[in-house]
């Protein structure tokens, strides 16, 4: 009788361990997928764009390509929170040189949402401005020059 109880106890422990492992894997996968779905809702449009640029710059850096273009559609609900909302989205990449960093720039969306996060991943030589109706994609071009990635186009 004791052997049956011990065997049942071991089976319960093994089942519990397997359950915890499977549940952990499912939670991790859901969190990973969920993060991609939530990212645009958590960040303002400028920061969201900066992290998209980060991903594309890493992709370009590790590839044999010299240039990459991609489309970006800002989260309209977040961009509409701008006090300067006028039914369109305006993205500005403004060159703001500093001593020791002549290619420092800022991303500005609807003259409200702002970030400089992208400076860690790309260099900007000239200011760029583009405006589209909500839901219309912006085309962004990155170029590889040696080991540096430059943001060269915004349409």
Write out the DSSP string of 42-101.
HS-HHHHHHHHHHHHHHHHHTSS-SEEEEEE---HHHHTTSTT--SEEEEEEEE--BTTB
Give the confidence band of 128 by pLDDT, cuts at 50, 70, 90. Answer: very high
- Least reliable range by pLDDT among 4-8, 29-33, 73-77, 108-112: 29-33
Query: Cβ contacts of residue 41 below 8 Å, gap of 6+?
Result: 75, 78
pLDDT in tens, 54-104: 999 999 999 999 999 999 988 766 666 666 666 778 888 988 877 887 778
- The residue with greater pLDDT, 134 or 59, is 59
**Whole-number average pLDDT of the chain:** 81
User: What is the separation of C-alpha 151 from the centre of its chain, rounded to a whole number of angstroms?
Assistant: 16
pLDDT of residue 6: 61
pLDDT of residue 101: 78
Q: List the structure tokens of 75.
A: 């989260």
Percent of the chain clearing pLDDT 70 (strictly above): 77
Instruction: Please give the Cα distance from 9 to 1 (Å, whole number).
Output: 13
For residue 32, give the H/E element and its range: helix 2-42
Instruction: Please give the Cα distance from 136 to 131 (Å, whole number).
Output: 9
pLDDT of residue 32: 57
pLDDT of residue 114: 80
User: What is the separation of C-alpha 97 from the centre of its chain, rounded to a whole number of angstroms?
Assistant: 24
Q: List the structure tokens of 41.
A: 């809702």
Instruction: Please give the Cα distance from 69 to 74 (Å, whole number).
Output: 16
Give the confidence band of 139 by pLDDT, cuts at 50, 70, 90. Answer: very high
Q: List the structure tokens of 43.
A: 């960040």
Instruction: Please give the Cα distance from 14 to 6 (Å, whole number).
Output: 12
Against a cut of 0.85, is the pTM above it?
A: no
């Amino acid at each position: 009788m004791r052997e049956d109880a011990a065997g049942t106890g071991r089976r319960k422990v093994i089942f519990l361990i397997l359950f915890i492992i499977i549940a952990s894997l499912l939670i991790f996968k859901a969190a990973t997928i969920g993060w991609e779905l939530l990212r645009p809702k958590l960040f303002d449009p400028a920061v969201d764009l900066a992290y998209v640029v980060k991903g594309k710059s890493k992709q370009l850096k590790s590839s044999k390509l010299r240039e990459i273009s991609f489309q970006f559609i800002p989260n309209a609900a977040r961009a509409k929170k701008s006090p300067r909302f006028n039914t369109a989205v305006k993205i500005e990449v403004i060159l703001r040189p500093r001593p020791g960093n002549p290619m420092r720039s800022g991303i500005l969306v609807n003259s409200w949402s702002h970030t400089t996060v992208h400076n860690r991943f790309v260099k900007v030589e000239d200011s760029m401005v583009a405006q589209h109706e909500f839901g219309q994609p912006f085309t962004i071009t990155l170029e590889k020059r040696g080991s540096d990635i430059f943001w060269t186009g915004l349409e």
